[in-house]
Amino acid sequence: MFKRTASAIIAVLMASSAAVAAEEITIATNIANVPFEFEDASGKLQGFEVDLVDMIAARIDKTAKFTQMPFNSLFSAVQSSRADIAIGSITITSKRLESVSFTQPFYDADQCLTVATSGGIEGLDGLEGKDVAVITGTTGEMWASENEPKYKFGTIKRYDGNADPMLDIATGRIAGFIHDCPIDAYYIRDKPQYKIVATIPTNEQFGLMLRKDSPLLNDVNEAITALKNEGEMERLHKKWFGTDAAADSSTLTVQPIPTN
């Protein structure tokens, strides 16, 4: 009798543990991505998308567990189910939608050219014969590769994160960095050695990335809709960017799940 009771208790505890484990979702991220996701001085992960995912997880009765990797690895992480969701200011594109899913967009962005203030470069035309930086796998890399014949860049140098190309600009190893405007603008806001000299109108939108058949997609998307309708997205934008989001932006307007 005692053995049967003990066995039953153990079975219940194991089932409870499995249920608790099932509540955790893995979030893949590239943390060197201020102000969307980054570590503060104490090593705590924070940022616009970190707050967003935490709020979404709470609404769908999950707990977010974050795991760090290079930007280009985010795609295989969700495709192979090593991660449930990927964040990293990931642009929604038709090509990407062939192999992954995205939630509705929640941030609009263009690409920018960031250079050294003392470098003498005032625009894209000043990059002829000079080396430029991009992040591997990003839309900045795609744009640079497609437009290399027009601007005659020296070498397109590929990096895994934002910190190294910024350092290489400061030391003169590269002439400029083609990357998401909001990220670079935030990064250089208190660094007078850098400046943005060109905005490239790529009209991008960021969303959360999931695998194609993810059972989480609809619930996560509905949570984003609720956050927009309740004003939480507006508050998040103000917190991290210091400005109000445009009334017609994807940060505030409810949009459908993107499809090809």
Instruction: Give me the sign of the Cα torsion angle 122, 128, 130, 131.
Output: positive
> 181 and 125, same structural domain?
yes
> 73 and 131, same structural domain?
no
Say how many C-beta atoms besides its own lie within 10 A of residue 109's C-beta: 19
Q: DSSP state, 119?
A: S
Distance CA 199, CA 179 (A): 10
Distance CA 150, CA 147 (A): 5
pLDDT computed for residue 260 by the predictor: 84
Region 136-143: what's the mean pLDDT?
Answer: 96
Distance CA 65, CA 149 (A): 43
Short-list 172, 174, 159, CA closest to 129: 174
Domain residue limits at 230: 23-106+207-241
> 102 and 212, same structural domain?
yes
Where does the pLDDT of residue 22 fall: very low under 50, low under 70, confident under 90, or very high at 90 and above?
very low
**Nearest 10 degrees: CA dihedral of 249, 255, 257, 260?**
-70
pLDDT computed for residue 3 by the predictor: 47
Q: What is the pTM of this model?
A: 0.86
Where does the pLDDT of residue 17 fall: very low under 50, low under 70, confident under 90, or very high at 90 and above?
very low
Q: Which residues contact 3 (CB under 8 A, 6 or more apart)?
A: none
> 116 and 58, same structural domain?
no
Instruction: Tell me, yes or no, whether 15 lies in a domain.
Output: no
Region 169-175: what's the mean pLDDT?
Answer: 97
> 71 and 29, same structural domain?
yes
> 29 and 154, same structural domain?
no
The residue behind tokens 């027009």 is 150
Q: How far apart are the first and last CA of the chain?
A: 61
Distance CA 229, CA 249 (A): 13
> 178 and 123, same structural domain?
yes
Specify whether the CB–CB gap between 29 and 67 falls below 8 A.
yes
Question: Taking CA 238 as the corner, what is the angle to CA 235 and CA 242, rounded to the nearest 5 degrees?
Answer: 165
Residue 134 burial class via C-beta count within 10 angstroms: exposed 0-12, middle 13-18, buried 19 and up: buried
CATH number at residue 219: 3.40.190.10
Instruction: Tell me, yes or no, whether 255 lies in a domain.
Output: no
Distance CA 154, CA 133 (A): 11
> 175 and 233, same structural domain?
no
Instruction: Tell me, yes or no, whether 248 lies in a domain.
Output: no
Question: Taking CA 160 as the corner, what is the angle to CA 195 and CA 24, rounded to the nearest 5 degrees?
Answer: 115
Residue 129 burial class via C-beta count within 10 angstroms: exposed 0-12, middle 13-18, buried 19 and up: exposed
Instruction: Tell me, yes or no, whether 11 lies in a domain.
Output: no
> 192 and 231, same structural domain?
no
Where does the pLDDT of residue 118 fall: very low under 50, low under 70, confident under 90, or very high at 90 and above?
very high
Distance CA 53, CA 1 (A): 47
Range from 19-23, 69-73, 138-142, 165-169 carrying the lowest mean pLDDT: 19-23
pLDDT computed for residue 37 by the predictor: 96
> 183 and 118, same structural domain?
yes
Count of the separate structural domains present in the chain: 2
Distance CA 64, CA 87 (A): 12
> 212 and 102, same structural domain?
yes
Average pLDDT over all residues of the chain: 93
- Reported as a single tens digit per residue, the pLDDT across 204-246 is 999 999 999 999 999 999 999 999 999 999 999 999 999 999 9
Where does the pLDDT of residue 15 fall: very low under 50, low under 70, confident under 90, or very high at 90 and above?
very low
pLDDT computed for residue 193 by the predictor: 98
